[in-house]
Amino acid sequence: MNFLNNLTAATQNITSVDVILNIILAFVLGIVVAIVYRLTNRHRAMNLSLLYTMVILSMVVALVMMVIGNSIARAFSLVGALSIIRFRTVVKDNRDIAFVFFALAGGMAAGIGNYAIAIYGVGIISLLLLLLDYIQFGVARRGIYLLRFQLIPDDSDEGSFQRVFEQQLSSFSRLSVKTVRMGQFVEHSYLVRLKSGATDQTLISNLSAIEGMERVTLLAEESEGEV
């Protein structure tokens, strides 16, 4: 009987209409966050599971906030109960983590019934994120590559690829030189910019044709894959 009284007292400030409105708002906010994520990541492979996670997480967090209410005891009890959950998926991109927290914050605001914070907060942050994507904030200048190759040590090894550099590159800066494979090869790393008309495939082909050259890789600075 005391349990029922405590349960009624804990939820008497939240009506069924409040529950419905809060969850619907959390759902809408989760959709907004997922759409913004999709728009700002249109040049990358999309993780459909992450999009669903944002929407689901937003609604679940809203429900959790309604369950907790103003009770510190329930908050600690819930943390203990949820601590048994283990997420096995590794999030590789820090931006993905930020969007997950974005959806979580929207769900929290909706769950406590603070509609102004929920709507204006998610709306303003979404617009700012779209603005950053529109101006391509932080995007590297095109044509800059990270060049890495391995060469058998020789007194004239630097001159062999320097000629290719002068023909194909408008600028280049050495980043590192180190021995690999028990000293059998020397690995060179350069930050390079192609000349107008030069192509990445031509650069790779010319370097690969050098005697003793192995494992030529070219990584575009604005992308995450090797050419």
pTM of the model: 0.61
pLDDT for the residue 24: 94
pLDDT for the residue 125: 93
Per-residue DSSP letter, 132? H
Name the residue among 54, 149, 158, 32 with its Cα closest to residue 103: 54
CA–CA dist 223, 41 (Å, integer): 12
Domain with CATH 3.30.70.60 in the chain: 144-220
What does the block give as tokens for 115? 């509609």
Name the residue among 177, 187, 190 with its Cα closest to residue 152: 187
Tens digits of per-residue pLDDT, 175-225? Answer: 888 888 777 788 888 888 888 777 778 888 888 888 778 888 888 765 544
CATH code 3.30.70.60 for 144-220: yes
What is the greatest pairwise CA distance in the chain? 90
* pLDDT more than 70, % of the chain: 77
CA–CA dist 152, 30 (Å, integer): 55
Q: Is the pLDDT of residue 1 over 60?
A: no
What does the block give as tokens for 181? 């494979």
